[in-house]
Amino acid sequence: MKIKKQIISVVILLLAVGQGLFAAEFQKPRFYIKFNGIGSLSAGGDFRDFMDRNETYFTGLNNLSEDYTISVTRSPYFRGYGGEIGFDANKFAVGISAGYIEKTFRIVYHYASAASDFVDDNTMDYTFSAIPIFLFIHYKLIDTRFLTTYLTIGEGVYLTRYRDDRVETYEGYSLTFANSYIESKKNSLGFHIGATIDLNISRNLALSIEAAYRLTTFKNMVAESYYEDDNQKIEVEGDFYYWINNRTDQGRFEIGDTGDRLFWDGLPTKLDLNGFSLSIGIKITFGSGKKAKPVKVAPVD
**Rounded distance between C-alpha atoms, residue 60 and residue 248, angstroms:** 10
Q: Residue 273's domain spans which residues? A: 36-286
- Is residue 101 one of the residues assigned to a domain? yes
- Is residue 126 one of the residues assigned to a domain? yes
- Is residue 24 one of the residues assigned to a domain? no
- Is residue 1 one of the residues assigned to a domain? no
- Is residue 47 one of the residues assigned to a domain? yes
Residue 64: its pLDDT value, please? Answer: 87
Residue 23: its pLDDT value, please? Answer: 45
> Which of these, 168, 166, 191, lies nearest to 180 by C-alpha position?
166
- Is residue 13 one of the residues assigned to a domain? no
Residue 21: its pLDDT value, please? Answer: 46
Q: What total of structural domains would you count in the chain?
A: 1
Residue 43: its pLDDT value, please? Answer: 86
- Is residue 292 one of the residues assigned to a domain? no
- Is residue 250 one of the residues assigned to a domain? yes
| pTM metric for this prediction | 0.85
Tens of pLDDT, residues 243-284: 999 999 999 999 999 887 889 999 999 999 999 999 999 999
Tens of pLDDT, residues 230-250: 999 999 999 999 999 999 999
Residue pLDDT tens, the chain, 301 long:
454 555 555 545 544 544 444 444 555 678 999 999 999 999 899 999 999 999 999 999 988 888 999 999 999 999 999 999 999 887 889 999 999 999 999 999 999 998 899 999 999 999 999 999 999 999 999 999 899 999 999 999 999 999 999 999 999 999 999 999 999 999 999 999 999 999 999 989 999 999 999 999 999 999 999 999 999 999 999 999 999 999 999 999 999 998 878 899 999 999 999 999 999 999 999 976 555 555 455 555 5
